[in-house]
Amino acid sequence: SIYEMFGNECCLSTGEVIKVVGFKINKLIASICENNEVSQFSAKVELPLNFPGLYKVVADKIPYVSIEEITKKVSIGPTRFGHPCFYSSEDIKLANLTVKHGEQITFNSVEEVNGTMAVNCGVVRNNQSHSFTLPLSQEGKFYECEDDQIYTLKEIAEWKIPKCRNRIVKLSNTLHTWDSSNPLPENFDGCLILTPVYEVQAVMKFRKDIVHILSDLDVEVKDITDCYDVSSFLQPLSLEDVFERTSKEFPLVAEIMEGPSGSRSPYNLLHTGKEIVIYKKYQATRVLASEIRSDSPKRHFLIPLSYKGKFKRRPREFPTAYDLEIARSEKEQLHVVATKAFDSPHKELFSVSVGDQFLVQQCQTSEVLYEGRKKVIDVLACEQILSDTYKKVLLPMYMEGGFVEVIHDKKQYQLSEICKEFRLPFNVKVSVRDLSVEEDVLAAVPGLQFEEEITDSYLLISSSSSPVDSWEVPVYRLNMSVHLLSKDVQTGVPPATKTTVEEISEEQYYMVRRYENQTLHPPPRPPKKPT
């Protein structure tokens, strides 16, 4: 049988030995869903895994009958996606704990406990986590819990579609403008039933790449696992697999079996067949930045603190007086100009005209007369800048106006200085580009907003043959497979790390912000008008 996949022709001849190393969803067939069933008016459409948008997963109503069935059909693993939640329809009595029916159980990992395969689980009660194990033999009715997270289609395909089941998802955010090439109806915001189409990932005896075989290929195979030395095949590893190794196992020498897509450096150097050294794994800090522009789409970047360019400040915009209070700092006085008029309903508070300039002082309370009664409200104390003097004024904190910052600071800053001295978000533009790289992608951007610092997982790698530079590669955003070589690393000291500013897609931007903000409480809402 001869077939072509991704432009590579592959011949499967009679007697060929293939080692299956994985199954992967290649694409999704989507149908519009009404009342958890396929709409009779819905045509089936094919969606690639990179189809834009963010989706919420609808909990599956069909129960699992044992813990073993869950482990066979649902992805459970060490990554942030690999902790599915279920509840039991009946109480589960354990040696030192009773899991109540309907209580949310988080499945963390599968491992051998005292000679028996079991799942490490946890429940949260009164903000305290309780850990326990459930054997695979545990039977009952286990239902999927509701999931309030949002996912890309690719994440759903990789982690959220159980084997032998479909998945219903609800469109949460389209993230793109509808056009005629979009297979979904215009302004669609309903539910879809996703049916996966799989491909088999395999390695062959005399090939060093991963072979992709569509599951509907018409070829007969025979299982010979028990009578064949499978160790003679290459073992492909994803970057996540490499990252799971202990720190003592690094550095490693590996050969790329499947390189990442993209033409930007250094990813264009990571092609199939290239030998690399993986020096270490670690967590690194990045600054999440977005292009400042009124129209969309905006570009988004992850900038390492080692970036060697310099920045000058750009004015920030503030829609309310409350935002001025959040932005003010002890380091310098905030100077703003009003861009929108505001008529105060209280004579005790100031009415703002376009062009008025203020120095922001502090938040305080003030007594105002409202419908014949005195009320105490939050206000922002400011000094209005007049031609030859200053006038103390009070602005209501609920005021919806518009202000733009006046910048007096002409200093040029390194990225690390900004993170240390100022509160994010912070507006800048590149004043001196990073001369250590051939092309500084940030230099061409007219304005950037530094939004927040994030921490992410990276591997430090370099070329094995000519280790001039080393690069940090993101573990969870780079699709790459390698196999390890039994070679010694000539030196455990990596060459100088080259700065890489990573441009990320709109979906990746929302994912990064989602993970970071899981641990943050939302800021308090601005005060409302007195009632």
Q: Quick check: 476 pLDDT over 70?
A: yes
- Hey, which residues does 197 pair with through a beta bridge? 27
Confidence of residue 524 (pLDDT cuts 50, 70, 90): very low
> What local confidence, expressed as pLDDT, does residue 521 receive?
39
Q: What is the mean pLDDT of residues 505-515?
A: 76
Tell me whether the CATH fold assigned to 235-282+457-501 matches the one assigned to 317-405: yes
What is the pLDDT, as a whole number, of residue 5? 54
What pLDDT does residue 71 have? 93
What b/e sequence results for 57-80 when a residue is b if at least 16 CB atoms lie within 10 Å of its CB, and e otherwise?
Answer: bbebeeebebbbebbeebbbeeee
Is the pTM here over 0.85, yes or no?
A: no
**CB contact set of 24 (below 8 Å; sequence gap of 6+):** 158, 198, 199, 201, 212
- What per-residue confidence (pLDDT) applies to 527? 52
What are residue 338's DSSP bridge partners? 403
In this predicted structure, the answer to whether residue 38 has a pLDDT above a threshold of 70 is: no
Q: Supply the mean pLDDT for the chain.
A: 83
pLDDT at 178 over 60: no
Instruction: Write out pLDDT tens, residues 146-164.
Output: 988 888 888 888 888 888 8
Q: Is the pLDDT of residue 522 over 50?
A: no
Q: Hey, how many other C-beta atoms are within 10 angstroms of the C-beta on 392?
A: 10
Q: pLDDT tens digits for 187-203?
A: 677 788 898 888 888 88
Query: What pLDDT, in 10s, does the model give residues 19-33?
Result: 888 788 888 888 887
Say if CB 185 and CB 91 are below 8 A apart: no
How does pLDDT run across 114-134, given as a tens digit for each residue?
A: 888 899 999 999 888 899 999
Q: Average the pLDDT over 427-449 and give the result.
A: 90
pLDDT digits (tens, 9 = 90+) for 93-119: 988 889 999 999 999 888 888 888 899
499 Cβ neighbours under 8 A, 6+ residues apart: 304, 306, 307, 308, 434, 436, 437
pLDDT band at 423 (very low <50, low <70, confident <90, very high): confident
pLDDT reading at 215 higher than 50: yes
CB 203 within 8 A of CB 212: no
Residue 40 binned pLDDT confidence (cut-offs 50, 70, 90): low
Which of 34-38, 373-377, 403-407, 511-515 is the least confident region? Answer: 34-38
pLDDT at 122: 92
Whole-number Å distance between alpha carbons of 235 and 245: 15
**Domain 317-405: top CATH class:** mainly beta
What's the mean pLDDT in 312-339?
Answer: 87
The per-residue pLDDT for 518 is 43
Residue 520: the pLDDT is 39
Question: Which pLDDT value is given to residue 104?
Answer: 94
Size (the chain), residues: 531
Give me the mean pLDDT over the 133-148 stretch.
92
How far is residue 21's CA from residue 19's CA, in Å, rounded to a whole number? 6
CA dist 250 and 467 (Å) reads 16
Domain ranges (residues) in the chain = 1-59+146-234, 78-143, 235-282+457-501, 285-314+411-455, 317-405
CB-based contact 453:287 (threshold 8 Å): yes
Cα 432 to Cα 412: distance, rounded to the nearest angstrom: 8
Instruction: Please name the residue ranges forming H helices in 224-319.
Output: 239-243
- Give the Cα separation of 285 and 455 in Å (integer): 5
The topology (CATH level 3) of 235-282+457-501 is SH3 type barrels. (2.30.30)
- Phi-psi label, residue 310: left if phi above 0, alpha if psi -120 to 50, beta otherwise: beta
Distance of CA 292 to the CA centre of its chain: 21
pLDDT of 172: 78
Query: By 3-state DSSP, what share of the chain in percent is helix, strand and coil, each rounded to 5?
Result: 10, 45, 45
